[in-house]
Structure 1
Amino acid sequence: MNASAADDSRMRTLVRSDDLDETREMISTAYSPYELRALNRPQDFSAWYAEGGFPGVTLSALSYGTETLVAPEPLTTYLLVCQVHKGRVRVESPGREEQFVGTGDTYVLDPQRRFKVFWGAGARMTTIRLSKELVDRAAGEALGREEPVRARFALGGPVSAAAAESWSGISAAVHREIMAGGLAHTNPLVAAQLTQAAAATLMATHRLLPGSEPVRHIGNVAHPAVRRAIQLIEERSDQPLTLSDLAAAARLSPRALQEAFQRYVGRTPLAYLREVRLDRAHRDLVAADADGPVTVAEIAFRWGFSNLGRFANWYRRRYGHAPSVTLRA
């Protein structure tokens, strides 16, 4: 799809403004809270945002008139597959990856990571939004698992030229269905089939990070408040979380949450959080190149362990050796 096609009347314009604060408020509502700054010639700032879709898929189109920084909070419940139709953007995942994306190229915004996107003046892109739940199911199927897998994506585009062609084909089908007002708008079966095909093609064409893992089953935890706290831990373990944060998510007092966790999980909420972080640090250490730039300290800090001595002790108790041994293996 070329950039001008996104102006089709079936895309509903939600923002057309030269007011930065108004734009930030409107697009934060559509996506997630985010930082928005004009990096050059703020007097030339302008923004356009439009969207359309059918059940299971939202297609959005965006452009900025001057050099602009967009830094959203983690998306958590969905991911975005972004395609640049005009100009150039630079995408950073702080401390991890950087990619320059030109006209015609795509990249994936992983729902659990923070990103900064630096837009060139006049750049325009479209995004296909898919739910995290749908993508996790597709990841499980792609990896031959019976259960969903928490899909974590590398920043880069399709893994090969053939993969790029395949993704381009399903992306074009989604665009056409939305722009033409096709059957997916009114036929749930068609919408579900096309949405599932998009998720399956995403799995086959883009690189999953080694940290992708089976979704932990919490169905055997009967207490709904504990389930809510566990869900927050599973989705945001790489972010600062306190007992108060978990209690707020659970809708209990901190003391009541502590008691419920001990009864239903057999450990405290913060002990459970530490176990999840240790698991994910271990997976990153296993996946890391011993001769590469990644260090034990960097991985520990990534997963919220600010005291390296305590991290090493917890890691040794859980895995039987120091984290540096895993990194060198």
Structure 2
Amino acid sequence: MTEPRVGPEAPGNMRTLVLSNDLDQTREIISSAYSPYQLSVLGDPKEFSAWYAEGSFPGVTVSGLQYGAETLVAPQPLDSYLLVCKLVRGQVKVISPGRDERVVGTGETYVLDPYRQFQVHWAPGARMTTLRLSRETVEQAAADTLGVEGPLRARFGLGGPVSPGAARSWAGISNAVHREILGEGIARTSPLIAAHLTQMTAALLMESYRLVTDGVDAQRPGVVGHAAVRRAMALAEERPDEPLTLADLARAGRVSPRALQEAFRRHVDTTPLGYLREIRLGRAHADLLAGRGSGVTVAEVAYRWGFGNLGRFAAVYRERFGVAPSRTLRG
């Protein structure tokens, strides 16, 4: 294996599987570790380097991954497992075609569920750690959380934790898992402790990140608002091109408009129409990217996604993406 120009040492009990400048070799090994994927170097191919390492106890696998050049990764859906990804250094852009996208910076996290189609655009030198749970574990935890018979298909948005408290709780369990794997933790040799820690990790995942599961009525006390939010979100994501109103979203959530507003503020720190606007902004952004060189205008895209005031559209777009919509369209 060729020595890369840059590459961290695998910490603790993690085992390095890739340390290479060879694109084909990297693609083959990491495809085996994750899922079959396309790997493209967007910068100078001579600058490419890759490092990948992993460690585990029964139920959980922790990995480290770094690319030394601007790189685009386009895997197939993960299918049999879920990943919680944390940027340790640098920046990536995560794109889920037709759904949403997000720029993730150092210290931030996002979830890739087993069913999502996605791409990850890596800045040179970006490095992340991932925590992997099996699909079966995640689907049972989702059913347990919502008080229904499992397993239950569990989908997640690309956003980070739902609140500062949730972020702290997730960081705590993640750090505990890393200590067990990187050190000589009990979970590496005790199936009972490993199972307990795996179940706790999956349960905290459900509470820490936005769970989107269609067609399920939560039975346990205290989460009716969360179920209503999920139903309203599903409508907003499926039909953002339609003139949806607060009343439409409330009917989808099976609650009153006021109750839906309160549930959104409690669970996702926004309003129902604010969430719909974010979905539409994401779709407009995707259309502007796709429209480069085609003659499409910012106004056409804005009107298509319900933004009748072009000045307001430009302002909220810049706030969300950091550039003017015209800049995105020009490339």
Q: TM-score, normalised by structure 1?
A: 0.65
Map of 1:237 onto structure 2 = none
Distance 1:40 1:197 in 2: 41
Map of 1:162 onto structure 2 = 165
Aligned ranges 1:153-302 → 2 under 5 Å: 153-211=156-214, 284-285=234-235, 288=239, 290=244, 292=276
What SS does the corresponding residue of 1:53 show, helix, strand or coil?
A: strand
Does residue 139 of the first structure (1) align with residue 142 of the second (2)? yes
Give 1:213 deviation, angstroms: 5.1
Residue pair 2:85, 2:110 contacting (<8 A) in 1 also: yes
Distance 1:49 1:212 in 2: 38
* 1:199-246: CA deviation from partner (whole Å, max 9, x where unpaired): 0000000001243759xxxxxxxxxxxxxxxxxxxxxxxxxxxxxxxx
2:65 aligns with one of 48, 62, 67:
62
What SS does the corresponding residue of 1:113 show, helix, strand or coil?
A: coil
* 1:29-52: CA deviation from partner (whole Å, max 9, x where unpaired): 111100101111111000000000
Letter in 2 for 1:106: T
Question: Once structures 1 and 2 are overlaid, which stretch shifts more, 200-209 or 7-16?
Answer: 7-16
* 1:63-87: CA deviation from partner (whole Å, max 9, x where unpaired): 0001100111001110100000000
Give 1:148 deviation, angstroms: 2.4
Distance 1:283 1:125 in 2: 29
Does residue 116 of the first structure (1) align with residue 123 of the second (2)? no
Give 1:286 deviation, angstroms: 7.3
Unaligned runs of 5+ in 1: 215-281, 299-329
Paired residues, what number? Answer: 227
Distance 2:8 2:141 in 1: 29
What SS does the corresponding residue of 1:83 show, helix, strand or coil?
A: strand
Give 1:7 deviation, angstroms: 2.6
Letter in 1 for 2:51: W
Q: Structure 1 stretches (4+) deviating beyond 2 angstroms?
A: 4-7, 210-214, 282-289, 291-295
Aligned ranges 1:62-101 → 2 under 5 Å: 62-101=65-104
* 1:66-114: CA deviation from partner (whole Å, max 9, x where unpaired): 1100111001110100000000110000011111111110000111011
Residue pair 1:137, 1:147 contacting (<8 A) in 2 also: yes
What SS does the corresponding residue of 1:148 show, helix, strand or coil?
A: coil
Residue pair 1:149, 1:213 contacting (<8 A) in 2 also: no
Residue pair 1:69, 1:116 contacting (<8 A) in 2 also: yes
Letter in 1 for 2:182: M
Give 1:133 deviation, angstroms: 0.7
Letter in 1 for 2:206: M
Give 1:9 deviation, angstroms: 4.0
Letter in 2 for 1:30: A
Residue pair 1:33, 1:72 contacting (<8 A) in 2 also: yes
Residue pair 2:12, 2:183 contacting (<8 A) in 1 also: no
Map of 2:287 onto structure 1 = none
Distance 1:186 1:57 in 2: 13
Distance 1:212 1:51 in 2: 36
Map of 1:51 onto structure 2 = 54
Give 1:284 deviation, angstroms: 4.2
* 1:141-183: CA deviation from partner (whole Å, max 9, x where unpaired): 1111133221011111101111111100000000000001211
Letter in 2 for 1:68: T
Give 1:195 deviation, angstroms: 0.4
Distance 2:8 2:69 in 1: 22
Give 1:283 deviation, angstroms: 9.4
What SS does the corresponding residue of 2:155 show, helix, strand or coil?
A: coil
Letter in 1 for 2:185: G
Letter in 2 for 1:102: G
Map of 1:37 onto structure 2 = 40
Q: TM-score, normalised by structure 2?
A: 0.64
* 1:233-275: CA deviation from partner (whole Å, max 9, x where unpaired): xxxxxxxxxxxxxxxxxxxxxxxxxxxxxxxxxxxxxxxxxxx
Unaligned runs of 5+ in 2: 1-6, 218-231, 246-275, 284-331
| Sequence identity percentage | 58
Distance 1:136 1:213 in 2: 13
Letter in 2 for 1:184: A
What SS does the corresponding residue of 1:156 show, helix, strand or coil?
A: coil
Residue pair 1:150, 1:213 contacting (<8 A) in 2 also: no
- The change in CA–CA distance for 1:283 and 1:172 in structure 2 (over 3 A counts) is closer
